[in-house]
Amino acid sequence: MFSNLRLRQQNWIAAAILTGAAALALLAGCESRVGETPPPSEAYEFSGTQCLSSSTPVVKQFIQGTAQVADVHALWNCVGSAVVQFKKYVRGKTTDVYTSQEIATFLEDNFFDKTKKTKISPELQVELMKIKQLIVGGNKDFITRQELDKAVEAFEVFREVTVGLSPYMKVLALNWTPSHVSNIQTDMLYFEEANGSVQKAARTLAALFEKNGQTYALSDFVKLMEELSVFIGEDWEFKSTLQKYMPVVKKVKKALAGGNENVIEASEWRRFALLGSRGYVQYLRYYYFIKSTEDTGAGYRLAYLSRTVEDILSVFQDLTAQKPEQIVTRAEVTDLLTTLAKVWPDFKVSDDLVVEGMKIKQLLFGGSKDSFTTNDFNTARLKVSRLKVLIERFMPYWPIYGKEWDTSLYTSEEAQKFFMESQFILEATGRELGVLVEGSYDLKDLVKLAKAFEDIYPPKDPQSSLTKAAEKYVPTLIDMKKIILGGETGSLEKGNWSFLLGFGARIYTDLLYYEYFLKDVKWDKPEPLGNLSVLVNQSLNIFKDLIQVKENNKITRAELSIIAKDLIQLDLLPKGVDQVAADQVIKIMVNNVLVRPDHRIDGMIPNAINFESIEVLRKELQVWLDTEYFIAKISENWKPNEGLSPEDLLATIQKGQKTKGISEALADGLKEFALVVDSPVPLTLDSEGRLVISNKVKLVYNQQSLQQLNVNRALSRIAIRSFANDLDRIYSYKGVNLAEVQGAFKDLKIVFVQMGLLDKKNDTFGDSRFRDANLFTPHADGNSLASFQEMTDLVGMIWSGLKINTYLKKELRDDCLTNQEDPQDGTLVKVECARKSYKKAMADYMLATPEYLRFMKAAEKNDELDGYLTNIFKTAGYVPNSKKTVRWGDLSLAPQAVQYIEMLFARYDKNKDGYITTGEALKAYTMFKGLLLEFAADQIKSGSITEDDLPAIFCFMLYYGKPPETMKEKLVFFFKWKGKPEKWDIMAGRAALAQVLGYVADKTNKVPTAEIPNIDKEMPQP
């Protein structure tokens, strides 16, 4: 702040000293008044050397740092000679007393160049008389002969000061340029010599002024500079600068030196001189060694920044100690900052902002939030050297922390090593910085601080308001503080800061790691996947260490519920999820997903995230990561559409399993991958991520297919390990039973409903998906368990179906809901419109099922497509009604139903003719036997049919689209199908299978079914 007063024309301060001192020759006795006409020059008859005429160039040379010491001595000789001669030869109107005008006339006639007609104005005389008082004392209206003798003595003091400053005036006048960095030590030594010279000069002058017991008004100095500017004949920019910043100087003077802000008392000269000289030196240090980074280097820059801050704090401490009250009050700080606001229009301050700022001061320096004391400044000063050490430690890594690091300049190994070093350094620095914090801080005050700031600096965009952001996020921060660090308030105590800053550094460097090694990089190569593994484990270690800090070493469900509440309020959870749903997810995560299966089955209910939870999560992520890395390695040099056949992929996996030294996680992943890949129908994807289902197209697993298969595998693995209640079924991959699936669905239903994925009336979703896994997946076996392979297949098919559904629903919305902006599950669509839309859209978006597209074209010609789609809609959830409308949500599974039928054909249509023949049907029967037993249980129990009749019923259904129900249908079944396999002639196409699925849907929804058309013709004749 002091430095700003001298940014351009600091040299004229020294000029004012010289000129003012020399002008003591002007000052003499009678009662001069501003504007008084000078007495005629004839009143004095004296012929001088006119040496003062050449004083101005010497003064300028002195300021510029080019004056010779001999010239400085000559200047003071001239000034002294003028006074001596004046005293010897001149008498005023009053004996031994001289008016300023008498001396002015004397100098104008005898010492100044007459050709220039130099005049000393009455206004300048008045200001110089005030300087005269400082130097020799006495009256401001005249000077006595005795005072002239004292002036000569004072000139010797000035001579001593100026001669001492002369070698360093280039430094003081900002005309010096430090040498190259190689010679910086010599330059620093020279600068410190200049520092010593300035402070010595300040002490010498302060002692002189104090000795004479005079006061001086700072406003008078402004006037003096104005008059000197006129006298020398130059329009100094320094004048306007001084006028602008003098109010600030006054406030600083009052705050740090005490007393009247505009007046320097005799007892205050030492303090004021200390303030001015040491403050100016700090600016010079900044100007030469901190501002010029390229010239001095970061190391020297840091050293001088540290030295500057330490010196400034030392000045504040010394000055505050000399104030009578020995404090700088908050009111004085406010007063000073308010004055700065008047000087700099862009700078604004308020009482509230100062109050909040003083809380930060209390946090960093300790003490009171109402004042600064000498102890506060001393505390801060003692920390500077420690801060310097800490800064020096992390300076080599600053480009990393500042997001300016270029990893391309390093090899991969070098970059990783250097970054890991930076992580360690920043964490250690954060912890040590935390030790330096002196007090506590209430997080609620962040809202007050933001509001106080924006009250005077309103945001340009209301959406970017700091106050709104603080009000939004601070409650979450407070809750997190309570959970991790304990306590009932949001106050961060002194002992919390080391932990907080250390962990903050770790979290920040994890974000930086993502920024440098993972952002904007495809995670399909070994190197980024290796980096992702590093980041995952580092992040989990942070989480684990956070739990370690908690007294009970766990984060409870209740605490997680609080975090969920905050996330809901911040709109960071999926739309529609409320506290009930979030709590249910938390319950499942902590008591199912993140518990070892053996512990869960043994009855462990943690109701918390603990160390075991972290390690379970780490293992599951590592299995996925290591398997993903394996995929990246084998596909590293593949072209976009290149891949491996199912047989070659299985061989590659088996070879990988035999590799020595593979991790336990990779061993698990490859074992499960082999189980899934060994499949009747490969689950490969097209370029849009849709399952390619065909028994005519040669399928290969490209990289995208393998990556999706790994995700499907991971989800299936986690689901089974989380809900199966038999360890043998978990470890042997036999999977889950229906009751376990129903239990999982019951727990998760509310989440699916609130996320808009499920109708709240749907209570059979779990049962249906269990049955789907057992009937329509490549590994389906129709038994009472959904195996690991079946579950993995189902996840992949659902994923593909949802992707296709997104495309179809977009077209459906445009075709049938032109006035509906945001359709909901209950939104009604005309069935006829939906069929037309799907006919058109499926031709574009179901390219991954080529046999189905051929069927669509043929069925359209044969008028079969409308019936097929109606049955598909029924299978998806449509219930026929008089209005002939279908609910928007009931169409979501339509692509899934098509995929199910296509999967049956891909698996069982061995001759690839587009039909399921009798032999193919009987092979499929083994898969559907369990379902038929379930549906026919009552009839078997009553004895109307036997289990041996089920193959015939199955084939009957494929032929007619439904089982025998009416008397006529039963008679046909009895005479033509029961026990007569030689008469079965099945040729079931896609429409027939869709009809069977439609019938099952009707029976499930209790919709009456019609008798088989023309069944009379099938009746046996009497």
Tell me, what's the pLDDT at 585?
94
Q: Are the C-beta atoms of 683 and 791 separated by less than 8 Å?
A: no
Q: Are the C-beta atoms of 207 and 293 separated by less than 8 Å?
A: no
Q: Coil, strand or helix: which one is 216?
A: strand
Tell me, what's the pLDDT at 460?
86
Question: Band of the pLDDT at 28, cuts 50, 70, 90?
Answer: very low
φ, ψ of residue 885 in degrees (nearest 5): -120, 155
Tell me, what's the pLDDT at 257?
67
Tell me, what's the pLDDT at 600?
97
Q: Is the pLDDT of residue 881 over 80?
A: yes
Task: Using a pLDDT cut of 70, give the percent of the chain over it.
Answer: 90
* Length of the chain counted residue by residue: 1022
Q: Is the pLDDT of residue 292 over 80?
A: no
Between 286 and 61, whose confidence is greater?
A: 61
Which of 176, 173, 170, 167 has its CA nearest to residue 292?
176
Q: Is the pLDDT of residue 540 over 50?
A: yes
Tell me, what's the pLDDT at 786?
97
Tell me, what's the pLDDT at 117?
75
Which of 119, 113, 118, 137 has its CA nearest to residue 24?
137
Average pLDDT on 980-1005 reads 92
Query: Using CA atoms, how far apart are residues 475 and 470, in angstroms rounded to an integer?
Result: 8
Beta strand segments in 228-361, E:
263-264, 327-329
φ, ψ of residue 788 in degrees (nearest 5): -60, -45
Alpha helices by DSSP H, 137-183: 145-165, 169-172
Query: Using CA atoms, how far apart are residues 491 and 201, in angstroms rounded to an integer?
Result: 50
Tell me, what's the pLDDT at 304?
61
Tell me, what's the pLDDT at 784?
92
Question: Band of the pLDDT at 824, cuts 50, 70, 90?
Answer: confident
For 543-580, write each residue's pLDDT tens digit.
Answer: 999 999 998 999 999 999 999 999 999 988 887 789 99
For 605-631, write each residue's pLDDT tens digit.
Answer: 999 999 999 999 999 999 999 999 999
Between 1019 and 2, whose confidence is greater?
A: 1019
Query: Using CA atoms, how far apart are residues 375 and 383, in angstroms rounded to an integer?
Result: 12
Q: Coil, strand or helix: which one is 916?
A: strand
φ, ψ of residue 824 in degrees (nearest 5): -105, 175
Any bridge partners for residue 885, and if so which?
830
Tell me, what's the pLDDT at 290?
64
Across 8-12, 129-133, 344-348, least confident range: 8-12
The C-alpha angle with vertex 503 and arms to 499 and 508, in degrees rounded to 5, equals 150
Q: Please give the mean pLDDT across all residues of the chain.
A: 86
Question: Band of the pLDDT at 381, cuts 50, 70, 90?
Answer: confident
Q: Are the C-beta atoms of 595 and 604 separated by less than 8 Å?
A: yes
φ, ψ of residue 820 in degrees (nearest 5): -105, 110
Q: Is the pLDDT of residue 984 over 60?
A: yes
Backbone torsion region of residue 638, taken as left when φ is above 0, otherwise alpha when ψ lies between -120 and 50, otherwise beta: beta
Strongest mean pLDDT among 77-81, 313-317, 390-394, 456-460: 456-460
Q: Is the pLDDT of residue 10 over 50?
A: no
Query: Using CA atoms, how far apart are residues 590 and 593, in angstroms rounded to an integer?
Result: 6
Question: Band of the pLDDT at 909, cuts 50, 70, 90?
Answer: very high
Query: Using CA atoms, how far apart are residues 205 and 199, in angstroms rounded to an integer?
Result: 10
Residues whose CB falls within 8 Å of the CB of residue 713, separated by 6 or more in sequence, listed in order: 627, 669, 672, 673, 676, 792
Question: Band of the pLDDT at 41, cuts 50, 70, 90?
Answer: very low
Q: Is the pLDDT of residue 902 over 70?
A: yes
Which of 59, 27, 55, 38 has its CA nearest to residue 132?
27
Question: Band of the pLDDT at 303, cuts 50, 70, 90?
Answer: low
Tell me, what's the pLDDT at 382?
84
Tell me, what's the pLDDT at 177?
82
Per-residue three-class SS string for 336-366: HHHHHHHHCCCCCCCHHHHHHHHHHHHHHHC
Tell me, what's the pLDDT at 144?
86
For 770-802, write each residue's pLDDT tens digit.
Answer: 999 999 999 999 999 999 999 999 999 999 999
Question: Band of the pLDDT at 419, cuts 50, 70, 90?
Answer: very high
- Measured in whole angstroms, the distance separating CA 383 from the mean position of its chain's CA atoms is 29
Which of 787, 780, 833 has its CA nearest to residue 811?
833
Task: Using a pLDDT cut of 90, give the percent of the chain over it.
Answer: 51
Query: Using CA atoms, how far apart are residues 241 and 392, in angstroms rounded to an integer?
Result: 37
Which of 906, 540, 518, 522 has its CA nearest to residue 707?
522
Could you tell me the CA-to-CA distances from 765 to 574, 748, 770, 791, 818 in Å, in that order? 21, 11, 9, 15, 30
Q: Are the C-beta atoms of 59 and 16 separated by less than 8 Å?
A: no
Query: Using CA atoms, how far apart are residues 51 and 203, in angstroms rounded to an integer?
Result: 30
| Reported pTM | 0.78
Tell me, what's the pLDDT at 298?
53
Torsion of CA 753, 759, 762, 767, to 10 degrees: -70
Between 183 and 993, whose confidence is greater?
A: 993
Residues whose CB falls within 8 Å of the CB of residue 57, separated by 6 or more in sequence, listed in order: none
Which of 481, 452, 290 has its CA nearest to residue 355?
452
Per-residue three-class SS string for 4-60: HHHCCCCHHHHHHHHHHHHHHHHCCCCCCCCCCCCCCHHHCCCCCCCHHHHHHHHHH
Average pLDDT on 405-411 reads 93
Residues whose CB falls within 8 Å of the CB of residue 601, separated by 6 or more in sequence, listed in order: 725, 726, 727
Q: Are the C-beta atoms of 175 and 65 separated by less than 8 Å?
A: yes
The C-alpha angle with vertex 179 and arms to 175 and 184, in degrees rounded to 5, equals 120
Which of 218, 241, 238 has its CA nearest to residue 229?
238
Between 722 and 5, whose confidence is greater?
A: 722
Between 473 and 132, whose confidence is greater?
A: 473
Query: Using CA atoms, how far apart are residues 141 and 145, in angstroms rounded to an integer?
Result: 14
For 707-728, write each residue's pLDDT tens digit.
Answer: 999 999 999 999 999 999 999 9
Query: Using CA atoms, how far apart are residues 98 and 103, in angstroms rounded to an integer?
Result: 7
Question: Band of the pLDDT at 91, cuts 50, 70, 90?
Answer: low
| Residue 343: exposure state from Cβ atoms within 10 A (0-12, 13-18, ≥19) | middle
Tell me, what's the pLDDT at 872?
96
Beta strand segments in 770-898, E:
785-786, 828-830, 885-887
Beta strand segments in 258-374, E:
263-264, 327-329, 371-373
Q: Are the C-beta atoms of 323 and 254 separated by less than 8 Å?
A: no
Average pLDDT on 276-289 reads 77
Backbone torsion region of residue 492, taken as left when φ is above 0, otherwise alpha when ψ lies between -120 and 50, otherwise beta: beta
Tell me, what's the pLDDT at 44?
40
Tell me, what's the pLDDT at 229?
80
Q: Are the C-beta atoms of 952 and 979 separated by less than 8 Å?
A: yes
Which of 891, 859, 857 has its CA nearest to residue 874?
891
Alpha helices by DSSP H, 437-569: 445-456, 466-485, 497-517, 526-549, 557-569
Average pLDDT on 200-223 reads 87
Alpha helices by DSSP H, 862-942: 865-876, 894-908, 918-935, 937-942
Tell me, what's the pLDDT at 627?
97
Tell me, what's the pLDDT at 341?
77
Across 377-381, 864-868, 984-988, least confident range: 377-381
Query: Using CA atoms, how far apart are residues 74 and 527, in angstroms rounded to an integer?
Result: 78
DSSP string, 565-593: HHHHHTT-S-TT--HHHHHHHHHHIIIII
